[in-house]
Structures are given as C-alpha cells and as structure tokens.
Amino acid sequence: MLRSLTAGESHGKGLVAIVEGMPAGLKIDPQVINQELKRRQEGFGRGKRMQIEHDQAEIISGVKKHISLGSPIALLIRNKDSRIEKLKKVICPRPGHADLAGLLKYGFGDIREVLERASARSTVSTVAIGALAKILLREFGITITSEVLCVGGRTCKEGMQKMILDAMENKDTVGGIFQVTAKGAPVGLGSYCSADRRLDGRFAQALMSIPGIKAVAVGLGFGFAEKWGSEVHDALYLNKKKGYFRKTNNAGGIEGGISNGEDIVLRACMKPISTLMNPLESVNITNKKSARAAVERSDICVVQAAGVVAESTCAFVLADALLEKFGSDSLSDIKKAYQAYQRRIQ
C-alpha cells in the first residue's frame, strides 16, 4: 500500500513530501520530478509567484544511486519566498477560501495562520509525489495526461485566452474544466467488494482533494442522466487479436469500481480563484465591521495547472491500486506477477 504525507506553508522554508511503499529497484531520475514541477507552474493566467519560484526537488532519503531502496522516499522543495515570519497580519477573510472557516475552527486571530497551509502552493508536494507514481506506472506501460476542455465556458484556445484576458482587465478570476486520461491500465485494478476500494471512488476523493475542485465526472459523467441505458452502456465484443473489447467508452474505463482495460477518463471542474484583485465584501475579524476581503498575490486562471496536479493525484491512486494487485516489495517481483496475470487473462 502506498502512503503519502506532505508538510509546509506557502511562504515557509519549503515543502516536504514523504512516500512510503514504493518498491525497491525503481530507477528514479530527479529531472523527471523537476520537469513535472515545472509543468505545474505553466499555463496562461498564472501569477507573479511563478516568476519567483523555480521548483526543484531534493531527494533526501529512500534512494541510492538513483535506485529506490523500498524505504520511505522523502523530497524537499525549498521556497525562495520564505517570508512567513515577516508577512503582514490578515484580518479580512476572502469569500470562497478556507480563511474564515479555518480561523473559526482553530481559534486563530490572524488569517495568515490558515492561508499559508490552505494555499494551493501545497500542490508542489502533490506533484512531486505524483511524479514518483508516474515513474512506477511507466514501468508497466501506463501513462497519464491532461488537457483543458474549457475556461469560462469557452472551448477554443482563442476563446479561453480571451476569457483570461478579460478577467485580468476586470481584476477578476476564471475557472474551467479539464480532463485526465490514463492509458494502458490493465483490467482488474480496484474492487467491487468494499466501498473504500472502488477505483472510481478513490479517483473522486483524490481529485476533490485538490484546492478549488468542485465537481468530478467519470467517463460520460452527468451525460448519463440524459440518455437511455441502451444508449450509454458500452457493448462487449470478442476476437482472437483483441480479446474482449468495447467500441465505446462511456464508462470511462471503470465498471463496478474496477478498471476494465479501456482508457480511464476523468473530468473535473476548477472554480475561479478565490483571491480577487477587486475584492468582495467581507468582515474585519478584529472590529467586526464591514470591509473588503484581503488581497494576496494570486493567479487569474489555473485550470491547466490544476490538470497537472490532477494527473499526479490520479497517478498515485493508480500506482497504489497496481501495487495492491501485484505486490509492493520488489519491482522485479511485481513485474513477474503482472506478466503472469496478463497471460492468464488473455
């Protein structure tokens, strides 16, 4: 079983990621991790923080001569902007953010105590962990990609960019929808036996854990509500070359909580960023009077970056399900079990 833990604040000394359960014998190239961290910083509509930070992961345990040891892998990504002790107190919560709920939950008198950890800067650790999972999945021919489907309701590149430019001009923000696709996942990952082992449920939880994600769909998603059963279920066929196969993939590669061998297709909705340069009405938590919400350095649109983060969370879920099915100690042993399984189901 894979387990992960992250730590760190937006303007603290750095972000930490720990992964336990990676098998021994896996070749880990730090540049692969750093390339994923760079992808997270890209996208039209990103803010000035991306010009400050040039995220690089330092592997501090669990790897020797670029080969995993089977022990916990710890990663450190240092922040260049590490002024957490010097930054001003924040007293006007931003609607849509964790500011007020977190302040009331923990009894703070300064919203910065909330926003430093609630910040999406924490997804640096998520992507570093996902990069390790992707390295493992590639050993089995499994790849994960993402694409932006729409921004602000616009679906063409020019329209999406215009929405972002309009948001910049209006000191506003804009969200959208992205899709994550996993190719090469074998039949049989996940289970129908218990709710917490259902693969679609695990993906949904992983995607909803990303800051700003408000809706998730598998395959046809909400489209299932508009059609007859005879129109949406993927008919089965068989021939000697392909074995069992489907001509459609409305199920999104998952049936009954189990991967069915088709591409796994997931979509998620990213809400507009909560920090607005023209802030909404709020309340000063010190004097209890009406005030404008606080303004922090922020982005205009992060749908593309959210897709990269989603690739990482989904890679972790798939890697965990793969190790659950085929073992987790030694990469060579896992590959033997995987190959034996593939021969059996053929």
Interval 21-68: pLDDT, tens: 999 999 999 999 999 999 999 988 876 666 677 899 999 999 999 999
Task: Output phi, psi for 142, to 5 deg.
Answer: -105, 125
Over 70: is that where the pLDDT of 126 sits? yes
What is the count of structural domains for the chain?
Answer: 1
Task: Output phi, psi for 285, to 5 deg.
Answer: -70, -15
Of 37, 42, 39, 5, which is closest to residue 20 (Cα–Cα)?
Answer: 5
Of 295, 147, 270, 275, which is closest to residue 211 (Cα–Cα)?
Answer: 270
Please state, in angstroms and rounded to a whole number, the distance separating the CA atoms of residues 263 and 297. 38
What domain range is 306 assigned to? 3-345
Tell me what the pLDDT averaged over the chain comes to.
96
Mean pLDDT throughout 91-109?
97
Question: Residue 163 sits in a domain of what CATH number?
Answer: 3.60.150.10
Token pair in block for residue 291: 């005030």
Beta bridge partners of 61: 74
Identity of the residue numbered 135? I
User: Do 310 and 120 touch, CB atoms closer than 8 A?
Assistant: no
Q: Which of 51-55, 271-275, 313-317 has the lowest mean pLDDT?
A: 51-55
User: Do 213 and 269 touch, CB atoms closer than 8 A?
Assistant: yes
Q: Which of 45-54, 100-109, 218-227 has the lowest mean pLDDT?
A: 45-54
Lookup result for tokens 């929405």:
163
CA-to-CA dists, residue 188 to 96, 127, 194, 199, angstroms: 39, 26, 14, 10
Measured from the Cβ of residue 331, the count of other Cβ atoms closer than 10 Å reads: 20
Please state, in angstroms and rounded to a whole number, the distance separating the CA atoms of residues 285 and 93. 8
pTM metric for this prediction: 0.95
Q: What's the pLDDT at 218?
A: 98
Strands (E), 175-242: 176-183, 213-218, 236-239
Please state, in angstroms and rounded to a whole number, the distance separating the CA atoms of residues 294 and 197. 41
